[in-house]
Amino acid sequence: MRVLLVEDDAHTAAFIAKGLREDGHAVDHAADGKQGLFLASTEPFDAVVLDRMLPGLDGLTLLRTLRGAGNATPILLLTALGDTDHRVEGLRAGADDYLVKPFAYAELSARLDGIVRRNRREDGRESTRLHAGDLELDLLSREARRDGRRIELQPREFRLLQYLLRHAGQVVTRTMLLEAVWDYHFDPQTNVIDVHISRLRQKIDHGFAKPLLHTVRGAGYRLGE
């Protein structure tokens, strides 16, 4: 897809652009807010990666201007300030997701895919059945089946699986899971998420030849073939 990167720090910009290109995306780079706003409002992009602190026109102003003009392009906001207040402020201004600098590229990549996916889904009708391979989740009857066999899930496991299926084929990070499934933004002391994942894995992969729930080292998890 085509991504606009608005970032004044040359080093960070090069690092992100390199990663995005390796993932097969086309990247346009703007080094300040004015240029970023100009590009974002004149060219079609699938997603915008926007730094909050920019010379000239700051990221939040740019964000509000775009949203005010009815531009609904998914936007991922980058910031060096890891305060929850700033996070809420960024989301209120119209960002789809938020990432604190510095970050591992895997986290940015996962979140960017997440917001683009969410955005595309909102265009169409919400599906009540989610699939990945021979695993399916019925959101109406709240049932999970694999190869026709029913899988008993706890409410939280259901939410976890639902989120993974919505992002099937994409890497989701531990923090993404904590925010989306547990709805808290905090710093887990130990890898509590891993234990939940391994329990889920027991239920959906145990006894099947092909595992569906994969651990992506140094990044997170991916559900898919």
Partner 1 sequence: MSRALPSTSTRLALLVMGFFLASFVLIGAGVYVAVSTLLLHDARELARADAIALVDTYRDGGRTALLAELQQRIHGDEGDPDAVYALADAEGRALLGRLPDMRAPGPRGRWVEFVELAAEGAQAQRVIAFERRLPGGETLLVGQRLQSQDRLLALMQQAALLALLIAATLGALVGWLTSRWVARRLRSLDATAARVGAGELGLRVPLDRSGDAFDRVAQRFNAMLDRIEDLLGGVRHATDHIAHDLRTPLTRLRNRLEDLRQQPSGDAARHELERALADTDQLLQAFAALLRLARIEAQATDADAPELDLCALIDDAAELYAPVAAECGIRIAVATNEASVRGDRDQLFQLVVNLLDNALKHAPPGSEVELALDIAPDGVRLQVADHGPGIPEAERERVFDRFQRLEAHRGTPGIGLGLSLVRAIVRHHGGRIQLLDNAPGLRVQVMLPSP
Our CB check for partner 1 shows the closer of 126 and 183 to be 183
**Residue 21 found at the interface with partner 1 (CB under 8 A):** no
CB burial of residue 187 (10 Å; 0-12, 13-18, 19+): exposed
- Quick note: the x/- pattern for partner 1 over 142-171, rule CB under 8 A, is --------------x---------------
> In sequence order, what are the residues at sequence separation of 6 or more whose Cβ sits closer than 8 angstroms to the Cβ of residue 75?
47, 48, 49, 50, 63, 66, 94, 95, 96, 115
Q: How far is CA 224 from the centre of its chain?
A: 16
Q: Which of residues 179-208 bind partner 1 (CB under 8 A)?
A: 182, 184-190, 192, 195-196, 199
Our CB check for partner 1 shows the closer of 72 and 104 to be 104
Q: Which of 82, 169, 207, 211 binds partner 1 (CB under 8 A)?
A: 82
Residue whose C-alpha is closest to residue 75's, from 92, 140, 85: 92
Q: Which residues bind partner 1 (CB under 8 A)?
A: 11-12, 15, 80-84, 100-106, 156, 182, 184-190, 192, 195-196, 199, 217-218
